[in-house]
Amino acid sequence: MILLVDAGNSRIKWGEFEAGQWRHKDAVPTSDLALLAERWQRLSPAWIFVSNVVGGELVELVERTFPAGTRQYWLTPKAEAFSLRNRYTMPDSLGPDRYAAMLAARQHGFGHVVVASLGTALTVDALTAEGEFLGGMILPGYRTMLRSIEQATRGVRAGLGQWAAFPTNTSDAVETGIVSALVGAIEAQRGRLQAHVGAEAAALLTGGDAALIKPHLRGPVTLVEDLVLEGLLWVAKEGGAAGA
């Protein structure tokens, strides 16, 4: 069995892949590593593939939980690998979650595409049909914006509103403003990519708040859950991990 792990800022998600199919997927809050260790006690993976933005705590947990002979692969972005050219000034400083999501986008057969991950942060990365990652941007995600405006203002209760074309109450105004900001960032990046390549670009969404934003986007839009795990699985297959 192969254990694939997407350790993000808010949640740690994992999938168990064996005999050509997903056997089980699960997630715990990133803040609860004790629960994660408990859930992983029953597992006996031959390989572990990890995208980690949590830091050393997860490394230590893996070392404590699994036998010393368990093979591990901690994804580190490279300048050129897995059919993707990474134009980051320092290629290995790109978040491994963003890197894995773009690898998955390549395997899903998208041409020119912006890959938008909507979690604690919104990341929007521009990827050409030829596999060149041109660059991307990071801004606060939906729930981060909600918390921020609630903490920075008096009398505003965020998270209770609905999107409206012309909001007539404060809660709806906050909801509409945040959704519009996130949609605007994605569409702006898509517009820049289209201008750069001279062709239409799709939008590929993933992350916990992707379903909330998808209806507000124009043009070709696809939502793929667990895109980071899909990218890790492709890395495992490319590396010849048994069971992938």
How many distinct structural domains can be found in the chain? 2
Tell me which residue range forms the domain holding 77: 1-108+227-244
78 carries a ligand binding annotation: no
Q: Are residues 90 and 134 in the same domain?
A: no
Q: Are residues 10 and 44 in the same domain?
A: yes
Identify the CATH number of the domain in which residue 116 sits. Answer: 3.30.420.40
Mean per-residue pLDDT for 115-143? 98
Counting residues of the chain whose pLDDT is more than 70, the rounded percentage is 98
Instruction: Kindly report the pTM of this predicted structure.
Output: 0.93
Q: Are residues 116 and 169 in the same domain?
A: yes
Q: Is 101 or 242 the better-scoring residue by pLDDT? A: 101
Q: Are residues 49 and 147 in the same domain?
A: no
For 4-50, the pLDDT digits (tens) are 999 999 999 999 999 899 999 999 999 999 999 999 999 999 999 99
For 49-82, the pLDDT digits (tens) are 999 998 899 999 999 999 988 999 999 999 999 9
95 carries a ligand binding annotation: yes
Per-residue pLDDT, 152? 87
26 carries a ligand binding annotation: no
Active site residues: 97
- Cβ neighbours around 241 below 10 Å, total: 20
Residue 242 in this model has a pLDDT that exceeds 60: no
Per-residue pLDDT, 244? 59
Per-residue pLDDT, 30? 95
CB 193 within 8 A of CB 112: yes
What mean pLDDT value characterizes the chain? 94
Considering only CA atoms, which of 169, 107, 177 is closest in space to residue 140? 177
Residue 243 in this model has a pLDDT that exceeds 70: no
Q: Are residues 14 and 43 in the same domain?
A: yes
42 carries a ligand binding annotation: no
Q: Are residues 85 and 4 in the same domain?
A: yes
Which residues of the chain form beta strands (DSSP E)? Answer: 2-7, 11-18, 21-29, 47-52, 71-74, 80-81, 84-86, 113-118, 121-127, 132-140, 202-206, 221-223
Query: What distance in Å separates the CA atoms of residue 4 and residue 228, rounded to the nearest whole number?
Result: 9
Residue 229's Cβ-count burial label (10 Å; 0-12, 13-18, 19+) is buried
Query: What distance in Å separates the CA atoms of residue 149 and residue 222, rounded to the nearest whole number?
Result: 29
For 191-210, the pLDDT digits (tens) are 999 999 999 999 999 999 99
CA angle, residues 63, 52, 242, in degrees to nearest 5: 65
Instruction: State the alpha helices, DSSP H only, in 18-131.
Output: 33-40, 56-65, 96-107
For 130-176, the pLDDT digits (tens) are 999 999 999 999 999 999 998 888 777 767 789 999 999 988 999 99
Helix orientation angle between 96-107 and 227-238, rounded to the nearest 10 degrees: 80
Spell 111-133 as b/e; 16+ CB within 10 A means b: ebbbbbbbbbbbbbbbbbeebbb
